[in-house]
Amino acid sequence: MADIKVAAYICKGCGLGERLDTDALVKIAQKDGKVPLAKSHDFLCNADGVAMIKNDIANEGVTHIMIGACSRRAKTEAFFFPENAVARANLREGVIWIRPDTEDARETTQDMAEDYIRMGCAEVKAMTAPGGNTNTGTSKTLLVVGGGVTGMTTAIEASKTGYSVVLVEKSGELGGWAGKLYKRTPVHEPFKSPADTGVADLASQVMGDSNIKVYLNATIAKTDGAPGRFVVDIATESGATHTEDIGAIVQATGFTLYDMNKLPELGGGKSPNVVDQAGLEALAKAAAAGDGVIRRPSDNQPVKSVVFVQCAGQRDPSGTHLAYCSGFCCNASIKQAMYFKDANPSVDTTIIYTDLRTPGNGEDFYRSAQEKGVIFTKGKVAEVVPNGATSTVKFHDLILDDKDAAVADVDLVVLATGQVANSGINIDALTKPQVEGQEGESSAEGTVEVKPISILNLTYRQGPDVPQLKQGFTDSHFICFPYETRRTGIYTAGPVRRPMDIAQAREDATGAALKAIQALENAELGRAAHPRSGDLSFPKVRLEGCTQCKRCTVECPFGAIDEDEKRFPVFNESRCRRCGTCMGACPVRVISFENYSVNTVGAQIKAVDIPDEFSEKPRILILACENDAYPALDMAGMSRNEYSAFVRIIPIRCLGSVNTIWITDALNAGYDGVMLMGCKSGDEYQCHFVKGSELGRVRMSKIDDTLKTLNLESERVRDLEVAITDIERVPDMINKYAAELVAVGPSPFKGF
């Protein structure tokens, strides 16, 4: 490492000077922190304070800066020194704002501040300023896979911002599901009648845009590379393969309706006069091209009565069919009921629903249908019995509690089946036994199985498509990172991500386009994508110490680590999200980042002054996720929610980055307890790094062995799920844990 010069700067603003002995903090930085240059300033973040730091950088040769002021989440622009290693000691939100302003509390408050100065000085010395990834990509072209409303909107919005787009559609025309519709639900006042789909206009815009290259009857044969430098092979119907250099990818492959043949109890597959919503759209289109009358498929007679069965194969708690609500179906049935009423008000039109959900237009569209004579019946359909050209719909009337209710002699039954995402291959199921069988053929069990086809054909070692959620939708989180997948630079939008209607899909497409543009721009600059957008650090590994255990390659949530021919890890920095999960997984600790490593955290742990067992001043280490727990702690300070003066908090990138050596070092050093604060994991995860907190918890579940080896109580380590909104809950958890440790007693390792 080149010669470094560390400087520490202590702020007196925001009440720090009144609550803390800042002169003593300067001396702590000089003596305990061994910092040659230490200063205080009345308002460090103002122009004079920043100028003082810049002057020391220019004239004193300062390379490493420790700032003792507000949280690292505050004043980021003022304290932005990209050529220098910078550490922040949180004296405002983390000390004076969470402690009472009383004489009795002054000593412990000062103790906290002094420890944070020691920790900041130790951290910055273990850091280097990130130089950025030199293996960057320069492609600014966006690939959109899927030519439906979502895909076309993505392409148009990206083109409007000046980016080139390659759009790949597997069929011979643009439009997707919306292209099959006769009309769509309205999206503007007065929400009275079905509206034009707008597909023709979107397709015209796409085909007339010189920024958009369209491949029809085409599929993705192979996707290689990383953000900014993807290389994509596109196979066309003619047999030719075209190669495109791509910066980022949006998968907008839409959905397929749930197969109504799986619903024989509702007449699916038993009668041509029982159709799904797609079947009715086809009938409506045929009617519009003819005399305007929707006719029965079996004998071409005009439909005089129709029943819509809502939630067909949806919201099924048994697990046989779809467990979720697809959201769009109620509005779609209302729209389709109007097809009949607008053409002939005398057609008997009934919608049988369990819960009527009409997002986007309030109740106006529903009321309009009522005014046109559509009958709405709250009930649960038990059976549809075909009888020649008509059917009988048997249902449980939930208003009258009549379990034997029925509608007889129905000309047409429409099943509102749900959306099944076209996500490609479920890579998590690749290792599970597959039931063989082709579409239209029966398997040994007598059920029809359709083998999934890869959409992106990724060359990643983790599998050919992006990971999926348990329902088959592509993995993203509606709170933390819509559109994101576990493959950096690859985004999903529209119904492939979650059930949605056309209006929601268009909004989704716009968001995905913006995220993809951000990704390809970051890739050119060698910067990380969400959630550490702008971070120039990337993982480095000392291969001479690597044991080839593969834990980093297996645990990386984002497929950023491959293996070379000698089975050593190969880091693809452009795919990396900088979560540090690989660092936490490495048993020999040879993986690190320039500004975040086993040493940067370990040095902070060791820098804390540990009082002896007679002082009645326990020490509790908190490793807090920087995305949820640490902001919650900051906001607790902003709200002046008090918590124990005996905690020392270190923000970590993710619970997945926690290396067990940190826990061992802390306990050996005499800490009385360790609190791990990570995001919620599992199916309803809130981890910004998707699997990070889950992987960290699996790792930490084995910490009991370490505690037993050290002859320590299990209470010494506590793992907690913390949300960013836990502003009051987090201080309460800290205070309760501190009281619990008092009852357990001081660590037996104090003084060693």
Compute mean pLDDT per 10 residues along the chain, 752 residues long, and list them.
87 97 98 96 97 97 97 96 96 98 95 98 96 86 98 98 98 96 93 95 98 98 96 96 98 97 96 97 96 96 98 94 95 97 97 92 90 97 96 97 96 98 90 42 42 91 92 83 90 96 96 95 89 90 93 92 89 92 95 96 97 89 96 97 97 96 94 95 87 90 84 92 96 96 90 64
Q: What is the pLDDT of residue 135?
A: 76
Give the H/E segment covering residue 200: helix 199-207
**Domain boundaries for CATH 3.50.50.60 within the chain:** 142-254+422-525, 257-415
Q: Is the dihedral of CA 241, 247, 248, 254 positive or negative?
A: negative
Write down the CATH superfamily of domain 257-415.
FAD/NAD(P)-binding domain (3.50.50.60)
Give residue 98's identity as a one-letter amino acid code: I
Do residues 188 and 544 touch, judged by C-beta distance below 8 A?
Answer: no
State the span(s) of the chain assigned CATH 3.40.50. 1-129, 610-752
**Residue indicated by tokens 């201080």:** 731
> How far, in Å, CA of 515 to CA of 484, rounded?
8
Residue burial 195-227, b: 16+ Cβ < 10 Å; e: rest: eebebeebbebbeebebbbbbbebbbebbebbb
Question: Cα(81)–Cα(84) distance, rounded to whole angstroms?
Answer: 6
Q: What share of the chain is helix, strand, coil (3-state, %, to 5)?
A: 30, 20, 45
The predicted structure's pLDDT at residue 450: 55
Q: b vs e for 240-266, b when ≥16 Cβ sit within 10 Å of the residue's Cβ? A: eeeebbbbbbbbbbbbebbbbebbeeb
Structure tokens at 457: 């054909």
Q: Which 8-state DSSP code applies to residue 247?
A: S
CA 143-469-694 angle, 5° bins: 110
Helices (H), 46-162: 47-59, 103-125, 149-160
CA distance linking residue 559 with residue 566, whole number of Å: 19
**Cα atoms in the Cβ-side hemisphere of radius 13 Å centred on 126:** 21
Give ∠ CA 91-92-93 in degrees, rounded to 5: 110
Q: Which CATH number fits domain 533-593: 3.30.70.20, 3.40.50.300, 2.50.20.10, 3.40.50.2000?
A: 3.30.70.20
Q: Domain 610-752: which topology?
A: Rossmann fold (3.40.50)
- Is the separation of the CB atoms in 406 and 395 below 8 Å? yes
Q: How far apart are CA 482 and CA 491, in angstroms?
A: 9
Q: What does DSSP say about strands 620-625 and 673-678: parallel, antiparallel, or unpaired?
A: parallel
Tell me if 658 sits within 8 A of 700, measured CB to CB. Answer: yes
Cα gap 676→663, rounded to integer Å? 10
CA–CA distance, 383 with 274 (Å, rounded to integer):
12
| DSSP symbol at 320 | S
Backbone angles phi, psi at 40, to 5 degrees: -120, 160
Hey, is 135 helix, strand or coil? coil
Q: CATH: 3.30.70, 3.10.20, 3.40.50, 1.10.3470. Which one for 1-129?
A: 3.40.50
According to DSSP, residue 141 is labeled P
733-738-740-746 Cα dihedral, nearest 10 degrees = 150
Q: Residue type at 674? A: V
Give phi and psi for 6, each to the nearest 5.
-100, 135
C-alpha 96/C-alpha 112 separation (Å) is 9
Q: 3-class SS at 367?
A: helix
pLDDT of residue 440: 39
| Phi, psi of 357, deg, nearest 5 | -120, 115
Q: Which residues of 40-74 are buried (b: 16+ CB within 10 A; e: fewer)?
A: bbebbbeeebbeebeebbeeeebbbbbbbbbbbeb
CATH architecture of 142-254+422-525: 3-Layer(bba) Sandwich (3.50)
586-592 contacts: CB < 8 A, separation 24 or more? 586/551, 586/552, 586/659, 587/547, 587/549, 587/551, 588/545, 588/546, 588/547, 589/659, 589/661, 590/541, 590/542, 590/543, 590/545, 590/546, 591/539, 591/540, 591/541, 591/552, 592/539, 592/540
Best CA proximity match to 426, nearest among 460, 475, 459, 461: 475
